[in-house]
């Protein structure tokens, strides 16, 4: 067959190539343009690679620089304006663990006085040279403090009777064993032993209780000029879970006192939740010594003495009646006014418009006298009413 002839097949292939070249001249042009584009892109890539190689040693060449807006969003506040109400970014993380409350200046005065009182009391209690120092006063969350107590320790739960709330007094193990050595005649210069793995004995617990009683008694005296209060021990605990007196998220005042007895000593921590000291918050906010005591006892005594020695005028009222003005204008000399009363009616003794007492008229020598027949009436206005009115006026001024 003619189709199987190789000469004929070569001729057919040559004819097909000629026909394709003659029918699509534009396709050949596009192919050439594509080749040129590919070559230009390759040249650009080669130039970029060379630039990257030259800048490879530069550390900042490949890092992305943040804009000021992105930095402000990350921090949660701008450098020019700090908004404490906006809790976002890093500020939200920091503020989540912080307890920020108003400063109470009088607490520092109270606990400075407590340090002086405890120094004298503990010297009498131990018959040894005791030095007490105030370590710090901080605001903490109740739950965080309970988790930070180093065990073993004795936690005393005490109640403030007048404030109707509770507080904690924590004595660490170092001070416990140091106090036991001192009270039971231990030798000086020996290091305190820390016995692990056993609960405190009855003798040790009673000695710690006596120590806490001394501390709380001095705390009562420290608070007395500001607000009289009585602290009573409710119970002693060794497990912080059983000494919970407030919610974990509630804030509290933590006072750490350092007690040193020559080469021995330890810490006592007093924890007062803010709910406990809320009744005396207004007093604790005072700034100077003149306001610290609230009242001046010297001035009060002088004022009471002067009031007791003051002279007042009293009136003995026999009878009172309301008559019309027309009748009063028609009165003449010699007219009689009938008194609607009996002869044995008591006479009212008044000071101004206030009735003091009642009595019966009589005579002493050549003078008319009144015998007091009833006790003096107590005034309706009390000092507590003045205090309430003063607090109400301060509140209105603050608003």
Q: Which residues pair with 267 in a beta bridge?
A: 258
Q: In this model, does residue 323 exceed pLDDT 60? A: yes
Start and end residues for every CATH 2.30.330.10 domain found in the chain: 312-331+340-398
Q: In this model, does residue 107 exceed pLDDT 60? A: yes
Q: In this model, does residue 169 exceed pLDDT 90? A: yes
Q: In this model, does residue 76 exceed pLDDT 80? A: no
- Position 176 scores a pLDDT of 87
The mean pLDDT of 73-79, rounded to a whole number, is: 62
Per-residue pLDDT tens digits for 351-380: 888 888 888 888 888 888 888 888 877 766
Percent pLDDT > 90 in the chain is 13
**CA atoms of 259 and 379, how far apart (whole Å):** 52
Task: Note the CATH architecture for domain 105-191+198-292.
Answer: 3-Layer(aba) Sandwich (3.40)
State the average pLDDT for the chain: 76
Give domain 312-331+340-398's CATH superfamily.
SpoA-like (2.30.330.10)
Start and end residues for every CATH 3.40.1550.10 domain found in the chain: 105-191+198-292
Q: 38 falls in which pLDDT band (50, 70, 90)?
A: low
The mean pLDDT of 255-264, rounded to a whole number, is: 87
What are the start-end ranges of the E strands in 75-228? 131-141, 153-160, 165-172
Q: In this model, does residue 383 exceed pLDDT 70? A: no
Tell me the helices (H) and strands (E) count for the chain, helix number first.
Answer: 14, 10
- Position 53 scores a pLDDT of 47
- Position 305 scores a pLDDT of 86
- Position 2 scores a pLDDT of 45
Per-residue pLDDT tens digits for 191-238: 555 555 577 888 888 999 999 999 999 999 998 888 888 999 998 988
Q: Residue 245: which of 166, 192, 184, 183 has the closest Cα? A: 166
Q: Which range (8-22, 58-72, 87-101, 338-352) has the least confidence?
A: 87-101
Whole-number Cα distances in Å, 129 to 123, 209, 210: 6, 21, 18
- Position 126 scores a pLDDT of 87
Indicate the SS3 state at residue 172.
strand
């Amino acid at each position: 067959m003619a189709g199987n002839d190789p000469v004929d097949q070569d001729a057919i292939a040559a004819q097909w190539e000629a026909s394709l070249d003659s029918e699509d001249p534009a396709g050949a042009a596009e192919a050439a343009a594509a080749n040129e584009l590919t070559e230009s892109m390759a040249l650009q890539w080669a130039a970029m690679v060379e630039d990257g190689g030259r800048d490879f040693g530069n550390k900042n060449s490949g890092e992305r620089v943040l804009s000021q807006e992105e930095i402000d969003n990350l921090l949660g506040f701008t450098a020019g304006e700090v908004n404490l109400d906006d809790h976002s970014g890093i500020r939200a993380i920091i503020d989540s663990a912080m307890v920020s409350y108003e400063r109470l200046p009088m607490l520092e005065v109270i606990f400075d006085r407590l340090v002086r009182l405890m120094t004298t009391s503990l010297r009498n209690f131990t018959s040894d040279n005791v030095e007490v120092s105030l370590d710090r006063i901080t605001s903490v969350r109740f739950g965080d403090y309970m988790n930070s107590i180093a065990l073993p320790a004795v936690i005393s739960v005490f109640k403030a009777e007048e404030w109707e709330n509770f507080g904690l007094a924590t004595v660490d193990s170092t001070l416990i064993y140091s106090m036991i050595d001192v009270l039971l005649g231990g030798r000086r210069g020996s290091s305190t032993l820390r016995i692990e793995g056993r609960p405190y004995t009855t003798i040790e617990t009673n000695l710690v209780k006596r120590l806490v009683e001394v501390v709380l008694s001095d705390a009562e005296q420290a608070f007395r000029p500001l607000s009289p209060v009585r602290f009573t021990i409710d119970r002693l605990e060794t497990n912080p879970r059983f000494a919970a007196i407030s919610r974990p998220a509630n804030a509290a005042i933590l006072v750490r006192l350092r007690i040193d007895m020559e080469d021995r000593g330890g810490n006592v921590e007093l924890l007062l939740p803010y709910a406990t000291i809320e009744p005396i918050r207004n007093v604790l906010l005072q700034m100077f010594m003149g306001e610290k005591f609230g009242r001046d006892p010297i001035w009060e005594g002088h004022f009471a003495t002067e009031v007791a020695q003051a002279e007042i005028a009293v009136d003995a009222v026999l009878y009172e009646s309301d008559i019309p003005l027309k009748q009063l204008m028609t009165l003449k000399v010699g007219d009689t006014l009938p008194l609607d009363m009996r002869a044995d009616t008591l006479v009212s003794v008044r000071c101004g418009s206030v009735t003091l007492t009642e009595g019966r008229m009589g005579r002493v020598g050549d003078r008319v006298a009144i015998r007091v027949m009833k006790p003096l009436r107590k005034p309706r206005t009390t000092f507590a009413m003045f205090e309430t009115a003063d607090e109400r006026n301060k509140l209105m001024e603050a608003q």
